[in-house]
Chains A and B, each alone.
Chain A
Amino acid sequence: MKKIIITTAAFCCLSLYLIARQTQTPEVQESIARGEKVYTLYCLSCHQKSGNGVPHMNPPLVKTSYVTGDIKKLVTWVLKGSTENVEIDGKSYSNNMPAQNYLKDDQIADVLTYVRNSFGNASSAVTAAEVKAIRAKAK
């Protein structure tokens, strides 16, 4: 009985995952692939390959309110970085995050689409047009 439940649950999870994957259009999938490259170059050393960050220093990008939440807030954060002691889901981290505003709109869209669909996250894609609009207002 127990076995059946576990198998069914596992099957459901898998199909949900596959459905989620399938709902990603080819454009989104390409954006994720490009985003991984941007992540490796500009984010990985602090947030780590696993997205788990470094305890007390660099926060995780795993299901945090920033990563999975409002796109405007997320894009603004990444553009501006932070040298303040900000609480991230109840914890504070003691490193500084440099502003990532040197990245182009599509690079930021790609990297955030990658982050929002990796490390166990499953959130909507971010588009270059959204980044452009948010950047214009952030100035």
Chain B
Amino acid sequence: MKKTFVNCFLLAALLTGGINAIARGTDSLRVAATVKPDANNAGLTLPQGFGALVVAENLNEPRHIAVTKQGDVYVKLASLQGGKGILWLHDANGDGKADEQKGFGGFKGTGMYVKDGYLYASSDEEVFRYKLDAGDKVINGNAPEKIVTGLLSRHEHEAKAITLDNSGNIYVNIGAYSNACQVKDRTKGSPGMKPCPILDSAGGIWQFKANQPNQTYGTGVRYATGLRNVVGINWNSDANSLFVMQHGRDQLHDLFPTMFDAKQSAELPAECMFQVQKGTNCGWPYVYYDQLQHKKILAPEFGGDGKKTAGEDAVDPVVAFPGHLAPNGLLFYTGSQFPEKYKNGAFIAFHGSWNRAPEPQKGFFVAFVPFKNGKPSGDWEIFADGFAGGTNLSSPGDAKHRPCGLAQGPDGSLYVSDDQGGTIFRIVYGK
């Protein structure tokens, strides 16, 4: 019966959509028939024609996620669940809801990526990979290969976000263990250190070989520098280039109350999307990007006054968002399920701010930026909202959900993880 149904379906697809549609993904057609958005779109507000469903709930702080060709979801947890730090979620009956769950990997962390037969996962100090079988299932959850070891994790900005390119390299964020590279972190009156010694071993993106065990600082390449902290990181195959989302510096008002009032400090500096090549410098800690003046401004710890420009050796961002929204996920959309406008564009998961207090907090949404030929081709917009479950939040702890990781399913669905409420969402089009 099932077979006849599938055959009929294939035939229908052949007749209506033609061979092309099938080549693009028979999977998408199968999934399309059985996956339905939740009645309330899982509480999310979406553009016309989109719907959302909850794939899984009550997970322990899911950070980044990866979806396999078969539609299984791997989830990296920041907090162990049953002693395990990675979950495999499977949807056996095809309704889009995970009905099977297995845990493995006894370490907490953020990074999760599937590429060429391996699952890559990071703790706050190391990167591991697990070999996958033909069905993209982990062969032995107890025996990962250690790819990178000994990375600095000093309390602040410890998450090691990862992504891979198409040439066998893995990129790892090593966040700066500091806000603005002051002698004393976040301490009023403490001067900035020039040169900033943190940049030797953190505050940038390091490149390693995806297949070599036990690499460390000595064998890696400092690919990009001057990045305070990056959690959203993705390779853009269209531009053949790495893109990252920086978490901009905090506390301009706390540290320099005579230069910045609380309102300015809530908006500034921009959360930046940078395109980075080998050797790119993004300017931290010496400059920050002011999205209202459209300029790189000298940081006050280094003699700035909110107006003086600097950073001639640093790149400008390709997109500048309002301050403190905390971009935790970046994904370039290559699917065909969503309308043409979304093709090759960037989705960004904003975790939501804390450093806007006493102003209301902002973020807690997934944004979209259209791209053409590897460059932004329009303004950013809010794509999926309503995660927080309310407006005018005074504190991020009050948010119901905080978007963190993004992944694209084989049928072009967009998956969003939430490390506050523990939910995995799936956003679909045309239901």
Question: Quick one: which of B155, B157, B189 contacts A83, CB cutoff 8 A?
Answer: B155
Residues of B within 8 A of A96 (CB): 155-156, 185-186
Can you name the residue of chain B whose Cβ is closest to the Cβ of A54? B354
Q: Which of B13-21, B165-173, B290-298, B393-401 contacts A (4 or more CB under 8 A)?
A: B393-401
Q: Which of A3-11, A43-51, A104-112 contacts B (4 or more CB under 8 A)?
A: A43-51
Q: Is the CB of A45 within 8 A of B185?
A: no
- Report B147-168 CB contacts with A as 1/0, cut-off 8 Å: 0000000111110000000000
Q: Is the CB of B155 within 8 A of A94?
A: yes
Would you give the shortest CB distance from B329 to chain A, in whole angstroms?
Answer: 16
A50 with B186: in contact, given A84-B155, A94-B155 (CB under 8 Å)? no
Residues of B within 8 A of A42 (CB): 254
Asked whether B251 is an interface residue with its Cβ less than 8 Å from the other chain, the reply is yes
Residues of A76-90 contacting chain B, CB below 8 A = 81, 83-85
Residues of B within 8 A of A46 (CB): 354
Asked whether A53 is an interface residue with its Cβ less than 8 Å from the other chain, the reply is yes
Can you name the residue of chain B whose Cβ is closest to the Cβ of A52? B397
Question: Quick one: which of B184, B355, B358, B402 contacts A98, CB cutoff 8 A?
Answer: B184
Would you give the shortest CB distance from A39 to chain B, in whole angstroms?
Answer: 11
Asked whether B24 is an interface residue with its Cβ less than 8 Å from the other chain, the reply is no
* Number of residues of chain A lying within 8 A (CB) of chain B: 27
Residues of A within 8 A of B157 (CB): 94
CA distance A102 to B255 in the complex (A): 13
Question: Quick one: which of A45, A54, A85 contacts B397, CB cutoff 8 A?
Answer: A54
Q: Is the CB of A55 within 8 A of B420?
A: yes
Question: Quick one: which of A45, A84, A99 contacts B187, CB cutoff 8 A?
Answer: A99
Residues of A within 8 A of B355 (CB): 45
A85 with B357: in contact, given A54-B395, A54-B396 (CB under 8 Å)? no
Can you name the residue of chain B whose Cβ is closest to the Cβ of A40? B358
CA distance A10 to B358 in the complex (A): 32
Question: Quick one: which of A45, A54, A83 contacts B251, CB cutoff 8 A?
Answer: A45
Instruction: Give me 24 A-to-B residue pairs in the complex whose CB atoms sit less than 8 angstroms apart, sorted by A's number.
Output: A42-B254, A44-B357, A45-B253, A45-B254, A45-B357, A48-B397, A49-B395, A50-B394, A52-B395, A52-B397, A52-B398, A54-B396, A55-B402, A55-B420, A60-B397, A81-B187, A83-B154, A83-B185, A85-B155, A94-B158, A95-B155, A95-B156, A96-B156, A96-B186
